[in-house]
Structure 1
């Protein structure tokens, strides 16, 4: 696998400190932090201006998506088991931290600029050693210095702040970012990945560390579910009134283009990078006999089956390409997403990027041929 590498410096044990100031931040299942002499103290937390939903952020808001990810800040030998596979997403030869994966989705939706926090010293590769180091950082307290800075921070109106949950709170690297960057007057939106225990106190602590900012409702994504989190991420962004850059009909990051011929009508689409979508792609090229149902969808049975532990959702987005594990069918949904009325769960495996009006003139039965 292709892995990023950075020179590793051994970390001396943290010297016990009598500092009483608490650290703040967001957190996730990726746990750890290097043990080093405390040189920087956490700022005194104060009450944030607001924690909640925005009526609506201006559509022309300039967005920064700043995030800290364990994978990109740890010694790497390519041993994913050592790094713990739950903390990363493996796509072929590429390995991405779970927090970075969510950050990419936020940036794609908002059109924001990405900024990856890089600590001056790397964390241990071993997961348990990183946990111990994180505890030492928190107990000192110690804020690890960052080696990179944001160019022209003043240009940004909204700052999304992403991190993994470490010991029920945010990594101190996230607190370092807030200490090193004045976000006064800006809107701050936290998000985190975690291993099943939620965001802990991290979002509240972000509010405490941003007393002169408006802090909006955050999103906590289970690390094991980040590859299927797109619907939840979009719903959250819509709920807080985040700026939205309309998607281009072309391929997005992590998606595979697919061509579909339906009775001579060419339809373009993409398949997501999920286990179910990859399993369907392995069946292509294929032709599915489909039936129109309720002026909202075409569906048809597939040869073979797709193994999944997911039960699916009783809702859909217009343009969704889905797989239903209950009756082993693939479907196109082209309307009525506001009133789904589904009786069986469906799993999104892709989306149609062509104009959905093409489905209006199609008959009650069609043959849909899928090609890579």
Structure 2
């Protein structure tokens, strides 16, 4: 039986919402991931950095920019033993500086995605997928990277219908 993994990076604390800063206990990407759990049978793995970015939004984005410029590979708090059991990986993350946070690169480079399908989902406040789809292809050679879904973070709580349609377009449904 085919198995699906939802791997995601999400950040709570102070976040940017359509022109204003707001403190949140659950990050936008994780809000969308929690909706996914109602739509498909999948295991989940949260990509957490050992040394997380600042809870202050403006400091966080500067730290993320520094990591991107250095092509850093932040250490994660934990790793999966293997992804061999999974055929499909839903990879969800926020858009940081036009792509995914570098902790996602840490995750991607750790495993062999050859022959696997990756569905990228990116939360953002207007910058869409950026270059992240191409970057997923770069860091996960041999994977079949499908067209991603961009979700505006301010509307993450209302993303379920869009995610359900995207899953259906990609052959994922409950029980898959």
> TM-score when scaled to structure 2?
0.90
The alpha carbon displacement at 1:106 in A equals 2.1
Matches within 5 A, 1:196-275: 196-245=126-175
Structure 2 match to 1:26:
none
Q: Which has the higher contact order (CA 8 A, sep 6+)?
A: 2
2:125 corresponds to: 195
Please, which of 156, 160, 164 is the counterpart of residue 94 of structure 2? 164
Q: Are 2:57 and 1:116 equivalent residues in the alignment?
A: no
Shift of 1:124: 0.9
Conserved 8 A contact 1:88-1:98:
no
Q: What SS does the aligned partner of 2:90 have? A: strand
User: 2:84 aligns to what SS in structure 1?
Assistant: helix
- Residue aligned with 2:145, SS: strand
SS in 1 for 2:164: helix
Q: Which residue of 2 aligns with 1:295?
A: none
Q: Gaps (5+ residues) in structure 1?
A: 1-59, 72-79, 247-372
Separation in structure 2 between the aligned mates of residue 106 and residue 97 of structure 1, nearest angstrom: 15
Per residue, is there more helix in 1 or in 2?
2
Aligned equivalent of 1:84, options 2, 7, 15: 15
In the TM superposition, residue 244 of structure 1 has moved relative to its aligned partner by 2.3
Alpha-carbon separation, structure 2, partners of 1:69 and 1:116: 8
Aligned to 2:107: 177
Mapping of 1:1-372 within 5 angstroms?
A: 60-71=1-12, 83-84=14-15, 86=17, 95-245=25-175
Q: How many Å apart are 1:125 and its aligned residue? A: 1.4
SS in structure 2 opposite 1:188? Answer: strand
User: Equivalent residue of 1:132, what SS?
Assistant: helix
Contact kept, 8 Å, 2:109 with 2:140, in 1: the verdict is: no
Q: CA deviation at 1:88?
A: 7.7
Q: 1:210 to 1:143 in 2, by over 3 A?
A: same
CA distance in 1 between counterparts of 2:22 and 2:6 reads 19
Change (3 A) 1:89 1:189: farther
C-alpha separation between the residues in 1 aligned to 2:66 and 2:170?
A: 35
Separation in 1, partners of 2:29, 2:49: 16
Structure 1 CA distance for aligned equivalents of residues 23 and 86 of structure 2: 29
Q: Identify if the C-alpha distance between structure 1 residues 89 and 220 changes in structure 2 by more than 3 Å, giving closer, same or farther.
A: farther
> What whole-Å deviation, never above 9, does each CA across 1:51-93 have from its counterpart, x for those lacking one?
xxxxxxxxx420000000122xxxxxxxx5xx13638896xxx
Aligned-residue Cα RMSD (Å) equals 2.0
TM-score (norm 1): 0.44
How big is each residue's C-alpha offset from its partner over 1:134-153, in whole Å with a ceiling of 9 and x where there is no partner? 11111112110112111442
Structure 2 alignment gaps of length 5 or more:
none
